[in-house]
Amino acid sequence: MPVKTVAMLTAGGLAPCLSSAVGGLIERYTERAPDARIIAYLNGYAGLLTGKSAEVTAEVRANAHLLHAFGGTPIGNSRVKLTNVADCVKRGLIQPGQDPLHVAAELSVRASDEPARHRLFIS
């Protein structure tokens, strides 16, 4: 079955390799599955839980090689643990009584059918 949608995010602490990893994933999927839709969740798991994503456009794909020269991450990062329910509620990422892992799974499946709400620029 061909890949239809690829979603990515960066999480944990900032590391010098994250930008290059994002660029490498975009380059590899562009090479191997050029028709696959690529979305990036903004600000790590917080973006996944709130549905904040950006479409990786043809322009971004063409410029992905530029990311190998930079540290950090172009799609943002957060220190959200999906297993820490109380913290996710406190931050307003989920409602009381929700399971962050379940919310993340539902939203990631739904995102493959919905348009991204933000644009990603690499130039």
Domain-by-domain residue ranges, the chain? 5-119
**Could you report the per-residue pLDDT of 62-83, keeping only the tens digit for each?**
999 999 998 888 898 888 888 9
Spans of the chain below 70 pLDDT: 1, 3, 111-123
Distance of CA 57 to the CA centre of its chain: 14
Q: What's the token pair of residue 11?
A: 């999480």
118-119 sheet: strands from edge to edge: 5-8, 37-41, 53-55, 118-119
Q: What's the confidence (pLDDT) of residue 64? A: 95
CATH architecture for residues 5-119: 3-Layer(aba) Sandwich (3.40)
CB burial string 11-41: b at 16+ within 10 A, e below? beeeeeebbbebbebbeebbeeeeeebbbbb
CB atoms within 10 A of CB 80: 21
Question: What are the Cα distances from residue 20, in Å, to 30, 71, 87?
Answer: 15, 7, 30
Q: What's the token pair of residue 97?
A: 């009584």
Q: What is the spatial distance between Cα 86 and Cα 84, in angstroms, rounded to a whole number?
A: 6
Q: What's the confidence (pLDDT) of residue 111? A: 66
Strands 53-55 and 37-41: antiparallel
